[in-house]
Structure 1
Amino acid sequence: MSSTMTWSLDARTPVRLLAHAAEAPPGAVVLAEDGAALPAASARVERYATPVATAHPIGCACCQPRSPAAIALDRLFLARMRGETPWFKEVVALAATAAGRDAIAAALEGDSVTLARFRPG
């Protein structure tokens, strides 16, 4: 008789959405919507603009440009890989508006490159 041990490990970097900048730990790596308040002592900040809503997006999903939030997360990932920022185990996200929070959620749910590197946390 043999037993099987199952386990899973999600090595993607968590992105934790905060309600207030004061909740960010010292030295945090921050993804922030334009206009969002920033924590006092962050290691790196990448900002993104909230996409403008349109009645019909240009192009199908395969040829639409990537969202500003997804691109900002790319910049954080590449900065970590290139040694341009201290190694980080999480990203704290700050949004000034509901649209900003939606943009972060959309990047974490629908952008394949972002999904490969980051997860909601």
Structure 2
Amino acid sequence: MIRIDARIPVFLATASDDAAMGVAWLVENPAEASWDGRETGHVAGCACCVARSPVAETLGRLFRARAVGEVPFFTRLGAVPAGPEGEAALRQALETDGLASACYRLETVGASL
């Protein structure tokens, strides 16, 4: 049985990695303890956003922006955590957040483009 995984792969990167075609970037801002802000465009406390982490919220906004053409279409997402805590938050969002895990998957080391 062939299983197709159409989720967008997320790979861990550093701030010095070069941009590539088809890659969007998600960068943690440790000074504000956020991943690119926290606005969601929903009513505060709605069921789809309650108890979502900043990185999960940002992943959701980025996927929506991709879907409606607000950002250039990308096929991969490079994530630049500021440290081990940021990496752990990203991993947790990809494993436990319903929307994030439905849209994205953590790319394994050495995966091809």
TM-score range relative to shorter protein: 0.7 to 0.9
User: Which segments of structure 1 move beyond 6 Å, counting only runs of 4 or more?
Assistant: none
Alignment size in residue pairs: 93
The alpha carbon displacement at 1:21 in A equals 1.9
Q: Distance in 2 between matches of 1:84 and 1:68?
A: 20
Q: Of the two, which has the highest radius of gyration?
A: 1
Q: In the alignment, which of 16, 21, 25 is matched to residue 15 of structure 2?
A: 21
Q: Which amino acid aligns with 2:91?
A: A
SS in 2 for 1:72: helix
Tell me the residue number matched to 1:74.
Answer: 60
Comparing both chains, which one has the higher relative contact order based on Cα–Cα distances under 8 Å and sequence gaps of 6 or more?
Answer: 2
Q: What's 2:29 paired with?
A: 34
TM-score by length of 2: 0.73
Is the alpha carbon distance of 1:114 and 1:98 closer, same or farther for their aligned partners in structure 2, counting shifts above 3 Å?
same
* Identical counterparts, % of pairs: 38
- Alignment deviations for residues 10-59 of structure 1 (CA, whole Å, 9 cap, x no partner): 000011111x22224335311111049xxxxxxxxx6258xxxxxxxxxx
Question: Do residues 47 (structure 1) and 42 (structure 2) align?
Answer: no
Query: For the Cα contact (< 8 Å) 1:17–1:93, is it kept in 2?
Result: yes
Structure 1: gaps spanning 5 or more residues: 1-5, 37-45, 50-62
SS of the aligned residue for 2:36 comes to strand
- Which of 63, 79, 88 lines up with 1:102 in the alignment? 88
**Which has the larger strand fraction?**
1
Provide structure 2 residue ranges, at least 5 long, that are not aligned to the other structure: 39-48, 108-113
